[in-house]
Every structure is written in C-alpha cells, then in structure tokens.
Structure 1
C-alpha cells in the first residue's frame, strides 16, 4: 500500500491563558500565573474550544466534543457551607458538570436536648440548594467536644455538650490547636451516636441528598478517618465491633441507597456494603503509591499501574478526593508554608493533582481556586469514567523518583526492589487512563523537561524533589486499551515541546498511514491535533496502535501528553 503523508498546516490558537523552598514563576513557565477564582467567578469559566480540523495551538488542550456529557456517577464539589445559616449559590455554570454543594452540620445543632431530634433546618437547607440546581453531600460532625485551647474552644466543638452528663471519657488532645474528642468507643457515646443515625434514617434526608459522609473522631476538624486505626493499618478497623455497628447503622439509615454513603477512610466492611470512600490529600500528588484499595502500584519497570479489581474500582463505588488548598495563606507561616514559600508553584500543583485524581479513577472531587480554569470543565467530564464509557484515553509522560523504603513500607504486591532503586529511588513513569506508552526496542525514551518541586514531599527519594513532564525519543509507541470502543472518527492530541527544527510524524495502520507537522525549534509547549478515521488495533511494531516519530534521524521529539478522543 502506498504511504500517505499529510503535513498539517500550522494553525496557532493562543490559550487564554513540607519543607518549603523558594521558586519564582520562571520555574513554572508552562502554566498560568497564580490567580485564585472565587465561587462568584465560576460563571466566567467556559470549556476550551473544540476544533474539528487538524491544528496546532500553544499550550495545553483540554477540549472535548461539545456533545460530551458528564458520567452519571461523577460529582464535583464547588461550594461548601459549614453550618446552616448560609444559602447555597446559583453558580450559573457555563459548562456541563454534576456540581454539588457540601453541607457540614453539627450534631449539637440537631439534638440540642437528649432524644429530641430536629432535622428541619438541615432539610430546609438541602431543599434551598435544590432550588438553585445544587445537590448536597451531607457531613454530620459528631465527635469534637471542643477545638483549640482559647475561650472559644467549646464553641467550635461539634458534639452536644449534654454528653458531659454521662461522664464519657475524652481522647487526648494532639496539640493545643486540635480537637478534644469524645471517645467513640465509649458505650454511652456509641449508644447515643447510633440513636442519631437511626433518627436520620427516619427522615427524608437519605432520599434528598446525593451522598452522605461517615467519619470518626480525628485530631483535626472534619471527623476524618473511619476507625481508631490509621490508613496504613486500616484493615484492623474491620475487626472493631463499634466501627462495624456504626457502619451497620448507616446502612440501615440508607437502606437501598447504600451507594450514597462514603467513608472517611478505607474499610472493607463498608466496601462490602457498597459504601465508597473519600480521601483528602491529592495535593500531595504522589501519595497512595502503592495503595491496595485503589489498586495503585508500580510494575517492575516503574510504570504506575491501576488494578481495576481493587476493592474501590471493582465495585464502582464512590471514589473521592479533595484538591482545595490553594489560598495564598498556604504559602505563609500561618499554614507552615505547606506548599512552598510563595504561590508560584500552585498552578503546577493544581495541574498535577487534577491529573493524578483522574489517574486514580476518581468519581468525585472537591476543588477550589480553579487556577487553570480550562481544566475544570475537562475534569467535570472525565470523573466517574470507566473504559467502557470514557470519551477519551490519555497518557501524561511524567517521571519522578519514589523512595524505595517508603514504597516497601506500603507495598502489598511484594515488588522486587533493585539495588539501583535502593540507591537512587524507584523511577515512577506516567499517569495513564487506558492509553499506555511503553519503551521497547527501537522505541526507547528518556525523561525530559525538569520541573522542581516547591516542597520536599515525604514519599520522594531524598535529593530528587522534581518531576520530568515529558519523554524524549526518536520514536515513541502507544497502545490503546483494547477494551475501549473507538468511534468512527478520532482526534489524537499531542502536547509536545518544540525543541528542534524538523517535524513530528504520527504513524498508524501498520505505518502505511501518516500525518505530520513541522516543528520550529522555538522551545514552546504546543498541542497538535490530528483528526483521522478509526485506526487498526495493534498494527504497529510491538503491537502499538500508533507511534510518534521524529522526521530527522539525528533529532528527538519531546512529548508530554497524548489524548485520543472519540467524536
């Protein structure tokens, strides 16, 4: 068959665009400057424009076909009210999203006297939210007697103070700023808690809400966790009688609607009931590698893998994350410089955290700040997908170095650690969603485009606090998951660094079909879109579906992200 080589016209479309260290914005040149968007500014966000022809634009491309709808199981938390006195707002979103409001209420505001339950204000607030097209995720805070050590500490608590009359023992305060919690294992507290959940189940709330949270006593605000054991030893919570009885109570309250329940930590006893889980630290975007419940692990070559038979994914339960700590205060001493000593790295962290949440197959995310506005409509359409219904598949060619001891301490698959990995860290490769980039003979790649971390994340190899966000090679091979149902027409979007004067060539259908673009060597990040018909599966070398290649024998291409989209 005659080879068909098409050079795409160059159409440039500009985009609207723990140990802290100092970096200026020149360290993060491929993302916008820091700008935190408030709730009232969400109506200004629009999806990135979908273009139906071959083209090249500067920057990233988060567009999807305009007829794409959110997955039914997807939820995006865009506003949170703590207490019952504030209305939920009409966000007037200009993009498709299953947006929800998050309502935190205190037990002490529901049961002001023992045995007298008043859920009327909770119901009123839920119904008010529905009038502005906002479904509610409900969290009832139950355990803190007080928070802090000043004269307002008792006022900040969540549990009814009449519990003091029963002489319930208190858990020790972690630091003067933390909670003093009633002990959930106390027989009296446990009895009163079960009565509260039983009363909740007798109201219309289980039918009204989109989801509801069950947590546990935690040192910090929010009733984090699910039992007395932390996440590293979370399996032990399955054996704790009062934890099981609490989950039984929630199951009874939401009978026939168990999928609405999500826990503050993993617990197999809850998973067996159909409950989901919400974690809360995706801002540290390499955490939970490895993780049994999420099916996260590194294979022998360092590729980040997803076991879809893991407890959360197998049962298709609520799978939540929180990507919210982007206010300027997080780069000050008030917050311990948690994410650096200035905000210059915040947009990059937002970018990486969103991609990691999608790599973890999340169905829900609570997100704030929206530092890269074009990503929010994209995330709204990506959450809750499976290989059967995803509108696109993609691979982000990142590389980083995880500490081998950290990995071994959390390993559940007995991965062999090489001597080199013990000395230099385990090379972690790629965030992927059903599109796999793999090195093979003739298709070798090396990490490229180094981005320094503003902080020293605990799971990283010491001295390697950086990411590479691309891979360089003469030829790079990609394999689409064979389960994905390709449409009659595809768009392949390639985000690349324009490092050399030459060309980037897309090859498919046994190499007999090709498309190409010219490169200018200006060093800019660009995204090329190639529109093509359905391609032959596994037709290229090493059973790749398509390859990206340099048209110059002595020059490499540098590729960061590839998306394949049905339309």
Structure 2
C-alpha cells in the first residue's frame, strides 16, 4: 500500500466516524434544547398528519405560542403553498392530503432534455401527463423547466449524463462555465446565440402546447452553480440591461399572454415586473436577509424599526411573491453538508419559526415548504399568505431585535439611510416584524429588548460580528401598539387579542383598548413561572380609531415590567 493510499484510507475512516457521530447527535435529542427552549425538539411531521391549532372561544391563558385561527378563515385566493416536489417524470405523483385549509400545489421539475430529446421534437405530452396525474390526485401544479446545466457533479468532476440540457446541444460548441468552487453544475452560457436561439424556440413551443393554461404557476429562471436554474440573468449584472434576458422574458410573456400573473422569476427584474410577472427568492431560512431590499420595500427607519413600503415594485402589483423555507433535513447537520447549519439539529425549529414569520412579514403569497418542524404553524402560514391589509383576518407584531452589519446594509440601501457612529460600531438595530400592527416607543412608553436567544450557528453574513443573537421580546412599564388605520376601517369589530408574553416577575399587566361603548380593560397576572404563555381576550365592538402610529392598544404594568413577544389581533366573524 502506497503512502498516499494509506493516508486516504485513514482520512476516509475518520470522516466516516465523524459522520456517524454527527448522525447519532442529530437523533439523540428528545426534549427542547436548552439554547432554544421555547420551540420543540427536532422532528419532521408529514403533511397528512398536520392539524390547525384549536380555536377557543373564551378568554384563557395557555402555555406556549398560539397560531390558531377562527374556523371561518380560509386561504386567500392569491395564496399558494408548494407541499411536494417531483423531480423528473419517472416516479409516480404522490397524493397530497393536507388536514388543514390550504391552496396546495405540487412542484414539477422537468429537464429540457426530457422535453426535447431530439432537436425540434417536443414531448409536451409527458409534461401534460404529469399535470393530469397531479390533478387526479386533487392538487394543482407548478412547472419548473430546467435548462442550463450541461453536466452535474461536484469538486471539479462533472457527468454529462446527469445534465438537464439536451445532449444534442454539444454539437454547437457552446461554451460552458462553472461559476464557483464546488459548484454542482457545469452550465452552458445562456447568452450564447446558439443556446439562446433554441431556448426561445423551446418557450415558443411551450406557449403552443396548451400547458400554460393547465398550470397554477411556472418558474422562469436562468443558470446557477446549484441545482435549479436560479436567478433571472447573469450574476452581478442588472438583468434589465441584458438584451437576451429581456428576450427570454418576452418569450415567457407570449406563453402566458393574459395569464402573466402565473409567471414567477428566479430573481428580480423590473422589465418582468412590468409584464405582471412575480418573483421567488429562496433563502428565507437565513431569516435576516433582504434587509434592505428595494424590490419588496424592506428597510429600517432611523429609529431602527423594520418597515415595509407597499408601493415597492413587487408589492404594489401584488403578483406571485414567494419564498422557499427548506433545508431542515438531518444531513445539514453533518459533515456531508459541511455542518452548514451547525453540528446538531437543535436550532432548526427556531430557524423554521423565524423563517415563517419573516416570509409573512415580507408579505409573501407563496412558499415552498419542504419539511415541517412546527406542525401547528403551517396552517397559520397557509391562511396568512397572499393577504393585503384589506382582507387580512388578523394583524400582528413580533417584538424582536437583531443587529445588522452596516456595510452590508449600505451595499443594498437605495434610501441612503444615515448610520450613526454607534450603529457603525455595534450594528444597526432591526426592531420588530410587523403585519399592520406597529409597536413604537414614545415618551412614557419606552421599551428595551428582552429574552436573548442565540441565532443558529451558521453566522449569517448580514449580522454584526459578535452579535449573533436575537432578542424575541420587549419589556417596559407601558407598551403601546397601533393598528393600521386601513384594517377593518377602524372598527367597530369583534376581535380576539392574543398576547404571547414571558411570565417573569410578579404583578399585573393591564391591556387597554377602545370599544364602541368606551374603554375595555383586560388583565394578565404575572406569577413568575418563567414560562412563555399566550393570553387571549375577546373584545366586542373594538374601535381602532387612533390615527397613524398613535396607540390603539396599551399594556400597562403594575409591579414588574411586562415582557411581551407577540401580539395578534384577530377579527371574529359570527356565523
């Protein structure tokens, strides 16, 4: 045995041992981890076993979070949730049977190689069969045609038989590229005239196939080092300045003429937005990304609050607007995936929790949910997707705080937000995720962040170094919240107010709001149990008449300060 082979055998044995230990560590946890005690232990729940959290029609206090909705609430017509992904055409389509209200869809990822096995010979019949099979199972379809990879592999070894582009393209001497180290794809250059010409023919044939009418949505992508034709144009280049990208989008526009809202792009393009196309990003498990983001109106004001501009390019048109909440399988906590999200799955439930709330704060209408880690949360997300303030069944505020790296923020800032010397040194505070319910400090209503939680151990690139933690509550003697003036027209409306708080200290927290008959007062009793709890109060004929950011709901402490995490106001419809 040569010295090299001895070294290689030794390295392989060590790697295998580490992998095995990693998998044992993943499987070892049977209780909520100590660093993330307010979320469940890691466990994936099949979609068919998920049920909504029970709605209760009386004032009460429960331990934990409350994601319940009144039984009358149904998903928005604008919402869509991808509950399974079928890659290729060989495996039978599985039936999706969710036990909760949701506009469910199956994602079909189909290779150009399968669709056009010989140049000019299109097998759209194969695609139609998949869609019809899915429909027979009671589910809608989303199509993603994969086009760009010549070969697939890793670490510089690529296999042409595993590519998605037709093999016959090889005769046209189209240059290929590998965009980064350890890329999964060797891609053709989509802008090369020979590739571009045949891509346009593919989409024109797709337009004539009748398939666009059969779909709920379709993905228009580009090319990526990873699997899936990510992006919408060349990396680092404004796609609206690239002629062949605009020609590709024109072809998609022709294919979906009169149905442009079905198209979603793999990246932002104003040219595509003007056609009525939507967008899907796909990294929301890094839940502090897209701060700031001009396309979806995400920024931080001078007081540190995360704000949403509903006149931004995406939100003002209300098209398909999506995210992917994935990467919760055990392999991500092993050497096989470079411990991308830590060496155990301990943090996964917390990251899943944050990602779900963030995609709703971003006003998404779609999410691809690969694995379900907090099952009672998924029905809540299904009923929140695609809402506007006019049809939202509830409004909420998650009172949290993180700290962002100033230089990263400035790189994407289109508003030229001033950054103070303190922020340059300590990071820009990112306070609260809000859906039409706003918490703001003012004189006599000062708050400070509370309940420090470690972030998942992947050290997100946008976070201030040394501040890899979040606060998930705010505390103060008085805390004021404002309901968006547009929601329910200011009232009167019957509501349930759900307050998730930390039961620390002793005393009472009075909850005050207005009704048609005058002020209403409810009370939370603090018992110092150290638990996270949710108190629910029903209020008839509530009136949210305060203007702008003046307070509609006030929490006032007698005794120790209130420590509040999540407040939700739910509209009650009496049937």
The residue number in structure 2 matching 1:133 is 138
Partners in 2 of 1:147 and 1:539 — Cα distance? 58
1:397/1:151 CA distance change after superposition, 3 Å:
closer
Q: What is residue 262 of structure 1 aligned with on the other side?
A: 264
CA RMSD of aligned residues (A): 1.7
C-alpha contact (below 8 Å) 2:482/2:549 kept by paired residues: no
CA spacing shift, 1:151–1:395, aligned 2, 3 Å: closer
- Ranked by relative contact order (alpha carbons within 8 Å, sequence separation 6 or more), the top structure is 1
For the 8 Å contact 2:405–2:463, the answer to whether it is kept is yes
Residue 440 of structure 2 contacts residue 549 of structure 2 at CA under 8 Å; is this kept in 1?
no
Q: For 1:463, which of 457, 466, 469 is the aligned residue?
A: 466
CA distance in 1, matches of 2:397, 2:458: 25
What SS class does the counterpart of residue 312 from structure 1 fall into?
coil
Aligned to 2:95: 90
Q: Give a deviation string over 1:54-96, Cα, whole Å, max 9, x none.
A: 1000000000100101000101111000001122222221110
CA distance in 2, matches of 1:249, 1:386: 30
Residue 476 of structure 1 corresponds to 479
Q: Distance in 1 between matches of 2:257 and 2:280?
A: 20
Aligned to 1:84, what secondary structure does the other structure show?
Answer: coil
Decide which of 506, 530, 537 is 1:530's aligned counterpart: 537
Q: What SS is found at the alignment partner of 2:100?
A: coil
CA distance in 2, matches of 1:97, 1:176: 38
Cα deviation, 1:403-456, whole Å, max 9, x if unaligned, reads 111111111100000111011111110000000000111111010000011221
From 103, 114, 118, the counterpart of 1:113: 118
DSSP-derived class of the 1:122 partner: helix
Unaligned runs of 5+ in 2: 1-25
Q: 2:172 aligns with which of 166, 174, 194?
A: 166
CA distance in 2, matches of 1:42, 1:541: 41
**Distance between the aligned counterparts of 1:408 and 1:296, measured in 2?**
13
Q: 2:288 aligns with which of 278, 286, 289?
A: 286
Please show how residues 6-405 of structure 1 align to structure 2 within 5 Å.
25-37=33-45, 41-148=46-153, 153-172=159-178, 174-230=180-236, 233=237, 236-405=238-407
Q: Which runs of 5+ in 1 are unaligned?
A: 1-21
Deviations 1:481-525 (A, max 9, x none): 000014631000000000022212111129832111322111100
Separation of aligned partners in 2, 1:541 and 1:99 = 37
- TM-superposed CA distance for 1:535, in Å, is 2.3
Alpha carbons of structure 1 residues 487 and 221: separation in structure 2 relative to 1, 3 Å: farther
Give the structure-1-normalised TM-score. Answer: 0.92
Structure 1 residues 176 and 326: alpha-carbon distance in aligned structure 2, compared to 1, 3 A threshold = closer
Partner Cα separation in structure 1 for residue 308 and residue 139 of structure 2: 32
DSSP 3-state at the match of 1:269: helix
What is the rounded CA distance, in whole Å, between the counterparts of 1:347 and 1:88 in structure 2?
29
How far residue 177 of structure 1 moved from its aligned partner, in angstroms, is: 4.5
Describe the shift of the 1:77–1:376 C-alpha distance in structure 2 as closer, same or farther (beyond 3 A).
same
In structure 2, the partner of 1:501 is 506
Aligned length: 537
